[in-house]
Amino acid sequence: MQIAIDALKTHVIYKEKKDINFDSKRTNMNIHLLHPATFGLDGGAMFGIVPKPLWEKKIQPDEQNRIPMSLRCVLVQTKNKNILIDTGIGDYHPDKFKTNFIINTDQAPLEQALNKINLKASDITDVILTHLHFDHVGGLTTEIDGKTKTVFPNATIHLHKKHFEYSQSPTMRDAGSFHTHTFLPVINEYIEKNQVHFIEGDEEGIVLTDGEEKIEYKISFGHTPYMLHPIFDGHIYMADLVPMSHHVHVPWVMGYDIEPATTTIYKQKFYDRITKENLTLIFEHDIPTWGGKLKVDERHRYTLDPAFESNQELIEKIQ
């Protein structure tokens, strides 16, 4: 599936499995970006208090003020693990939902992407969920004969315990972002099978290790409580702290954030580490730009230089 930029179209507890496909010769992390779908959200909501005459210079809305957005996931492969970061929006939504959010996807898009590099969904050993909003956890499940089923049966799910608890009793303002009727039965099934690793740190730590390789995490607040950001081999997944390249400037935060001012504080905290370690940002929701490096311009503002252009294929290798 080729992602269109110019139009809004209806457009993994460390449990080893003998039948999982690994490359035993791999010694360094391989990183692929997966593009299971595009969708659209209201541009005003995506940019909060930033005036439309400013943000529409960056990205053009459609006639209903919706802007085109990616649902970019990441596959990290270590010697013994196939690790998926976030899962997109899913392929099972009713027509009205798909129309409202102009979802453009195929059936089983993550499985299609994995097949292109000779993997199956059953080969995924770990799924790291940054948070449980429907556009990040939706691809964890599918519907078969009207019943919700997991897509990744052999995976360990990594998510923050306090965020999981929050998702079951959010505020009225953000309750619509948590489709508990879809993800909760499946996560509970993973819990019953001892396939959930609940992260409990409030700031940073390690999600998982594989020999000398590791995926770390850093926690942010503002968009939603205890959002988890994986850090791996010089990259950091920004999730909804900085969803698109257009949100790099610290004051540009989303109206969807439950505490927008807190988001700006955490952006600065993250930027301090990102610049110190020269990490590469990966954007979840930016179609043409998959990531980049942070720089400070002559006005002492953060900018993206260089920016890394996506080839917008179903799967693309970046390392």
Which CATH number belongs to the domain containing residue 70 in this structure? 3.60.15.10
- Residue 68: asked if its preceding bond is cis (omega within 30°), the reply is no
CA distance to 109, 111, 307, per residue, from 34 (Å): 9, 10, 18
Please name the amino acid found at residue 293.
K
Least confidently predicted of 14-23, 60-69, 122-131, 172-181? 14-23
φ/ψ (deg, to 5) at 87: -135, 5
**For residue 20, pLDDT beyond 60:** no
- Has residue 4 been placed in a domain? no
pLDDT tens digits for 115-172? 999 999 999 999 999 999 999 999 999 988 878 889 999 999 999 999 999 999 999 9
Domain count for the chain: 1
User: Are the C-beta atoms of residues 39 and 144 closer than 8 Å to each other?
Assistant: no
Strand partners, 67: 41
d(CA 111, CA 62): 30
**Whole-number average pLDDT of the chain:** 91
| 185 within some domain | yes
Say whether pLDDT at 5 is over 50. no
Task: Residue 86: name the closest of 71, 105, 73 by CA.
Answer: 73
Residue 111 has pLDDT above 50, yes or no: yes
Q: Is residue 1 part of a domain?
A: no
Which pLDDT band, with edges at 50, 70 and 90, does 19 fall under?
very low
Query: DSSP E strands: which ranges in 125-249?
Result: 126-128, 141-144, 147-150, 156-160, 196-199, 204-210, 213-220, 227-232, 235-237
Let me know if residue 20 belongs to a domain.
Answer: no
- What residues form DSSP beta bridges with 232? 235
Is residue 8 one of the residues assigned to a domain?
Answer: no
Q: Provide the CB-side half-sphere exposure for 191 (13 A, CA).
A: 10
- Which of 20-24, 146-150, 206-210 shows the lowest mean pLDDT across its residues? 20-24
- Mean pLDDT of all residues in 44-65: 98
Residue showing tokens 């001012």 = 261
Query: Does residue 45 lie within any of the structural domains?
Result: yes
Per the structure, the complete domain to which residue 105 belongs is given by 30-317
Q: State the pLDDT at residue 136.
A: 98
This model's pTM is above 0.75: yes
- E strand or H helix that includes residue 101: none
**What pLDDT, on the 0 to 100 scale, is given for residue 50?**
98
Residue 52 resides in a domain: yes
How confident is the model over 105-114, as a mean pLDDT? 96
Question: Within a domain: residue 3?
Answer: no
